Amino acid sequence: MNCRDRLEALTGLLRPWSGLWSRSILQNWPESGAAYPEAWLSYAESLDEAGERMMDHGALPGVPPPSLHSLLLALHELTGLPWHPGVQPLTAADVQGLTAKKTHELERVLALLGQRAQTIRQAVDIGGGMGHLARLCVRTFDWTFHSIDRDAALQEKGRDWLRRARMLPREKLCFIHATVEEGPQPGIDPLFSGQNSASIGLHTCGPLALTQIRKSQKAGFLLNFGCCYDKLDPTRDYPASRFGKTHPLPLTRHALALTARGRHQKTEAEFALMKQVYAQRFALDLLLRRKFPELGFVRAGDAPKALYAQSFAAYAHDRLERLRIDTSMTDSELNAFELSVRTETRRIFLCHLLRDRFARALEVVILLDRAILMEEMGFQAELLQVFEPRLSPRNIALIASRAA
Ligand SMILES: C[S@@+](CC[C@H](N)C(=O)[O-])C[C@H]1O[C@@H](n2cnc3c(N)ncnc32)[C@H](O)[C@@H]1O
């Protein structure tokens, strides 16, 4: 399916459910809960913990309501992007000091570039950090490579790696300390230009991906992995393509934050921790609403991880102290309150599980819009999954080559 058809189908599927994914559940509770079909909530309430976990993985055990079942099937089909095959194994010396995630990413990106970028002779990496990709590309493909980053300390570490590297034409790798911005930057813009030039961005945060795309109009090849979509400005950065503007979605701040929740399958322990965190947080929210309605929605912030496993009273005392709110409640009163609202906090939790089903689809919408922007700039563009989501959840590559 081409990018435009996929975007049209996906936005058509998501639009009627924007009441669920575009708003925060907690901030708008209980009205936010009313947007969830009663049949979906009753089904979710019928699940035990194993069933909840299955739903968190995208499965629907038992007999789900037909509307939920068909929606999830359609979302699954439209977000099921093809995979890029291939791994270029690195040696133990290459990966010494690198995390498993970074090694995994580098082995797959090198394989991808080896297959897709055969006419390339020079490359530029936006947000290249320590320049691991740059160093390996110079060695593997003999490219001239410029690695740009605004973090000078990271680049200095990268120079150390370079000094230690063997069998490498070091003069071919150049670190440039600069902040890449919208608008003309005569010092770096020429690096993005040329039929034999590749423009690379490996996990460019928020709008930096769009800056890379706009700077790369005259490049021969572009590879981008986006991340941190919550840093996008929903009015400025989406939709970016002309076609996207004719099929827009209300991607609010809350919807953008949801895109980062399209995660790998959680382990039993991860799921249990998420449940604990939510249960404590939701109970505190309900407590503050009842006792201090005049405060409106109160941001509780993150508590130390260990506190979530303790009693509600321990968690609540910590947060209330930080917020300088005195409820004058004893530990047993706080714990009794938490017990009294368990049915409601579970309902809020189940709404979150249901809302999370939209996360990957919203991410794919943002990326399809970017791919279509590349097409509108005269490139052939596609989206492929490259990384194992468990190791690197923002795993979709935007790959574009100048159309012949
Ligand atoms: C998520 S890290 C990715 C680093 C590297 N590409 C990798 O995959 O390991 C983002 C990097 O982009 C850099 N960065 C963010 N915004 C930038 C900008 N506007 N100009 C240059 N570098 C930027 C940060 O300093 C950071 O090193």
Q: What are phi and psi of 149, to 5 degrees?
A: -155, 155
Q: pLDDT, tens digit, for every residue of 345-355?
A: 999 999 999 99
**Would 81 be classed as within a structural domain?**
no
Q: Which of 149, 154, 185, 391 to mutate to test the pocket of ligand 1 (most atoms within 8 A of CB)?
A: 149
β-pair type (173-177, 194-205): unpaired
Smallest CA-to-CA distance from 225 within 89, 125, 372 is with 125
pLDDT in tens, 204-254: 999 999 999 999 999 999 999 999 999 999 999 999 999 999 999 999 999
Dist CA 203 CA 194 (whole Å): 23
Residues 347 and 363 in one domain: no
- The reply to whether 231 and 289 lie within a common domain is no
- Are both 239 and 372 inside the same structural domain? yes
Given a contact cutoff of 8 angstroms between Cβ atoms, the answer to whether 203 and 225 are in contact is yes
Together in a domain, 139 and 240: yes
- In the reported structure, the alpha carbon of residue 5 is separated from the centroid of ligand 1 by a whole-number distance in angstroms of 32
CA distance 250 to 332: 44
d(CA 252, CA 256): 6
C-beta of residue 349 within 8 angstroms of C-beta of residue 47: no
Question: How many whole angstroms from 130 Cα to the centroid of ligand 1?
Answer: 10
Interatomic CA distance for residues 66 and 284, integer angstroms: 35
Whether 184 is covered by a domain: the verdict is: yes
- Of 150, 147, 142, 144, nearest to 159 (Cα)? 147
Assess if residue 95 is contained within a domain: no
Q: For position 332, what pLDDT does the model report?
A: 97
- How many Cβ atoms are within 10 Å of 365's Cβ, its own excluded? 27
Q: Is residue 68 part of a domain?
A: no
Q: How far does the centroid of ligand 1 lie from the alpha carbon of residue 178, in Å?
A: 11
Residues 123 and 218 in one domain: yes
Residue whose CB lies within 8 A of the most ligand 1 atoms, among 151, 223, 229, for a mutation test: 151
Q: What are phi and psi of 301, to 5 degrees?
A: 70, 175
Average pLDDT over residues 263-268: 79
Pocket lined around ligand 1, Cβ cut-off 6 Å: 127-129, 148-151, 154, 179-180, 202-203, 205, 208
Report the mean per-residue pLDDT for the chain: 95
Pairwise CA distance, residues 286 & 300, whole Å: 12
Coil, helix or strand at residue 202: strand
Same domain, residue pair 170 and 37 = no
The model's confidence at residue 266, banded by pLDDT at 50, 70 and 90, is confident
pLDDT digits (tens, 9 = 90+) for 2-49: 999 999 999 999 999 999 999 999 999 999 999 999 999 999 999 999
pLDDT digits (tens, 9 = 90+) for 280-330: 999 999 999 999 999 999 999 999 989 999 999 999 999 999 999 999 999
Residue with tokens 């991808």: 112
Q: Is position 118 within any domain?
A: yes
- Best of 106, 204, 230, 391 to mutate for ligand 1, by most ligand atoms within 8 A of CB? 204
Same domain as 253, residue 124: yes
For 31-42, write each residue's pLDDT tens digit.
Answer: 999 999 999 999
Does the residue 308 lie in any domain? yes
Of 363, 393, 398, 366, nearest to 382 by C-alpha is: 398
How many domains are contained in the chain?
2
Q: Which domain holds residue 204?
A: 100-257+359-401
**Index of the ligand 1 atom closest to the CA of residue 127:** 12
* pLDDT score for 292: 96
Using the predicted structure, report yes or no on whether residue 403 has a pLDDT greater than 80: no
Buried b (16+ CB within 10 A) or exposed e, 101-126: ebbbbbbbbbbbbeebbeebebbbbb
136 & 233 share domain? yes
62 exposure class (CB count in 10 Å sphere: 0-12, 13-18, 19+): exposed
Confidence at residue 161, expressed as pLDDT on a 0 to 100 scale: 87
pLDDT, tens digit, 9 for 90 and up, residues 114-139: 999 889 999 999 999 999 999 999 99
Six-digit token pair at 123? 């490359």
Residue 52 lies in a domain: yes
Chain Cα centroid distance, residue 31:
27
Backbone angles phi, psi at 106, to 5 degrees: -65, -40
Which structure tokens are listed for 352? 């979150």
Both structure tokens of 398:
């935007």
| Residue with more model confidence, 224 or 269 | 224
Percent of the chain with pLDDT over 90: 91
As a whole number of angstroms, the distance between CA 47 and CA 40 comes to 11
Q: Do residues 156 and 247 share a domain?
A: yes
CATH number at residue 194: 3.40.50.150
Residues 392 and 295 in one domain: no
Name the strands in the sheet holding 173-177, side by side, starting at the edge strand that comes first in the sequence.
Answer: 173-177, 144-149, 122-126, 194-205, 219-227, 396-402, 379-385
Beta-carbon contacts of residue 401 (< 8 Å; ≥ 6 apart): 116, 220, 221, 222, 379, 380
DSSP 47: -
| 263 confidence band (pLDDT: 50, 70, 90) | low
3-state class (DSSP) for residue 221: strand
In a domain, 4, yes or no: no
The three state secondary structure string of 351-373 is HHHHHHCCHHHHHHHHHHHHHHH
Give percent of the chain above pLDDT 70.
99
* pLDDT at residue 262, as a whole number: 63
Q: Is the pTM of this model over 0.75?
A: yes
Which is nearest to 192 in space by CA: 209, 176, 214? 214
Is 106 found in the same domain as 218? yes
Q: How far does residue 170's CA lie from ligand 1's centre (Å)? A: 22
Residues 173 and 214 in one domain: yes
Nearest atom in ligand 1 to 201's CA: 6
Q: What is the pLDDT of residue 404?
A: 65
